[in-house]
Structure 1
Amino acid sequence: MAFKLNFNAAVFDGTNSSEVGVIVRNGLGEVMAGLSARGPAVANSEEAEALACRKAVEFAMDAGFINLVIEGDNAAVMKAITSSRLDGSRLGHIYDDIRTLAAGFRSCNFGCVKRSANVVAHSLARFANHIVDELVWLKESPPPALEALYLDASFLNDE
């Protein structure tokens, strides 16, 4: 059974600091793990999203997940990760790191989702602005994302 991992980055105006949010759910939509973490200063949102993806993959590996579907909402980042072409851009080494780490999973697929399908990870990324380092939740719903989780679950039930 594959778990679905959604990640997101937030960049706050004036500071260039980045924050990361990650949520891992099982096939029933139940929360298996969550992460809110401070990230480094970044030049732009693409760099923030690429670093957030790498952090998400590392987090999933450390938490012991082996079958994953990884989703982010930045189309350029997700395209770069799934591309087999050599990436000579400034962020190419980060994309290489992500692919190398992902090769350590039994199965791992990447996909791009609409922003509206990534609100839980986004709420965790925004929450990271209020913490010093990182917070991890295992097999419990992260309190900073409860409203987003509730809305997400009600949306899934409407389909």
Structure 2
Amino acid sequence: MVRPRARWTVPLGEIYKINFDGAVFIDEDRAGIGVIIQDSQCMVMASISHNIPLPISVVELETLTVAKALEFSIDLGFVSAILEGDLEIIMKALMDDSPSLASFGLLIRDVKTYAEQFQCISFSNVGREAFAPQDESNC
């Protein structure tokens, strides 16, 4: 059975979409994190990027990135959001109510603590292809 590919969708009402991603630059022994927050009109409300020391794993990088995304959103006063990421293992861990025993479990706990500060938050896993515009009318 072939699953349909997820596609970026416009958030409804006063809910903002928070997209995050990490990038590894092995030659430079560093990583980058990026966050963008958009409203229901596809307008960029805020964005941030940082260089950080190279973490142990890609999963750790993505978990650090989602923590920064939520911290940044809270600092700016966003209280309702859809958090979108492309690494399924992270998104599943965030949606699981039980404590994570994975190597990145403590980072997941930190992220969940940030998430508790939102009035409304949901987690969405989208494939990397979902961020590519399909036509000119997409955000």
Q: Cα offset for 1:85?
A: 1.9
Q: Cα offset for 1:153?
A: 7.4
Aligned length: 126
Structure richer in helix, relative to its length: 1
- Structure with more contact order per residue of length (Cα contacts < 8 Å, sep ≥ 6): 1
Q: Following the alignment from structure 2 to structure 1, what is the Cα–Cα distance between the partners of residues 39 and 113?
A: 24
Query: Tell me, which stretches of 5 or more residues in structure 1 are unaligned?
Result: 120-150
Contact between 1:8 and 1:118, CA under 8 Å: does it hold in 2? no
Instruction: Give, as a single letter, the amino acid of the residue that structure 2 aligns with 1:118.
Output: F
Partner of 1:30: 43
Query: How far does the alpha carbon of each residue in 1:70-125 deviate from its partner, in whole angstroms, 9 at most, with x for none?
Result: 00000111111111122122210100011111100111111101212336xxxxxx
Q: Cα offset for 1:154?
A: 2.0
Q: Report the secondary structure of 1:87's partner residue.
A: coil
- CA RMSD in angstroms, aligned pairs only: 1.8
Instruction: Give, as a single letter, the amino acid of the residue that structure 2 aligns with 1:47.
Output: E
The TM-score normalised by the length of structure 1 is 0.73
Q: Following the alignment from structure 2 to structure 1, what is the Cα–Cα distance between the partners of residues 131 and 93?
A: 19
Q: Report the secondary structure of 2:26's partner residue.
A: coil
Q: Report the secondary structure of 2:78's partner residue.
A: coil
Q: Cα offset for 1:155?
A: 5.2
Partner of 1:83: 96
Query: How far does the alpha carbon of each residue in 1:36-89 deviate from its partner, in whole angstroms, 9 at most, with x for none?
Result: 111232112111101000010001011111111000000111111111122122
Question: 4+ residue runs of structure 1 moved beyond 4 angstroms?
Answer: none
Contact between 1:16 and 1:42, CA under 8 Å: does it hold in 2? no
Query: Tell me, which stretches of 5 or more residues in structure 2 are unaligned?
Result: 1-13
Partner of 1:147: none
Query: Aligned residues: percent identity?
Result: 31
Residue 60 of structure 1 is aligned with which of 67, 73, 97?
Answer: 73
Contact between 1:20 and 1:36, CA under 8 Å: does it hold in 2? yes
Q: Report the secondary structure of 1:56's partner residue.
A: helix
